[in-house]
Amino acid sequence: MRSGLGKLHHLVVHDALTGLPNRTLLEDHLDRALEKVRRDGGHFAVLMLDLDGFRVINDAYGHHVGDRLLLEVTHRVQSQMRGHDTLARLAGDEFILIMAVDDPAEAATQAHKILSFIKKPFHLVGHEIHVSASVGITLCPDNATVRSDVLAQADAARHHAKSSGRNTYSFLKPPCRPMSSNN
């Protein structure tokens, strides 16, 4: 009986396609990370990324290719993560990476790695797919101390990256103004 409940719990808190934590588990991880920095000090960064032009790929090649692309993106991002980082899938082509940082440059370095790995062609179901990503970064607790603000600020920074030409990342810097770094 327990194994059935364990499987059910896993399905409730993980994305069915990628196996990554879903929004429910992500929110728990964010709450824990915020509590940890309140209690112990330190910082962490939240990187929100989505794929530029994902809808076009889904429409042109079909959802089965879009799903394969999401799986490959997941693998590429995971290959750049440290063991204590958390990657989650929010919905569609939106992902969140939570990472402990001592310096904002660590988040910038990670964002740059992610962008360069995603930019490499994907070979899926007989197609060579080219895609890029936009990444928004917020630092905690510098910019936010509650989960909803963290997610809203990472999203605002991501939107700024998209409007700055895509295939780039943008930091949300106090007092909550986006700052871009084009690649």
From residue 111, alpha-carbon distances to 11, 36, 114, 150 in Å are 29, 23, 5, 17
Percent of the chain with pLDDT over 70: 91
For the cut 90, the answer to whether the pLDDT of residue 90 exceeds it is yes
* pLDDT tens-digit readout, 5-15: 677 667 789 99
CB 21 within 8 A of CB 14: yes
Alpha-carbon gap, residue 94 to 90, rounded angstroms: 5
Mean pLDDT of the chain: 90
For the cut 60, the answer to whether the pLDDT of residue 176 exceeds it is no
Tell me the CATH number at 101: 3.30.70.270
Alpha-carbon gap, residue 81 to 47, rounded angstroms: 12
Percent of the chain with pLDDT over 90: 79
DSSP 98: E
Alpha-carbon gap, residue 101 to 117, rounded angstroms: 21
Cis peptide before 174 (omega within 30 of 0): no
Mean pLDDT of 145-154: 93
Domain span at 65: 2-182
pLDDT band of residue 4 (cuts 50, 70, 90) is confident
Helix H or strand E segment including 62:
none
The distance between the two most distant Cα atoms of the chain, rounded to a whole number of Å, is: 52
As annotated, the active-site residues are: 93
For the cut 50, the answer to whether the pLDDT of residue 175 exceeds it is no
CB 44 within 8 A of CB 82: no
Alpha-carbon gap, residue 166 to 160, rounded angstroms: 9
* pLDDT tens-digit readout, 13-39: 999 999 999 999 999 999 999 999 999
What pTM does this model have? 0.90
- The tally of domains found in the chain comes to 1
* pLDDT tens-digit readout, 114-123: 999 999 999 9
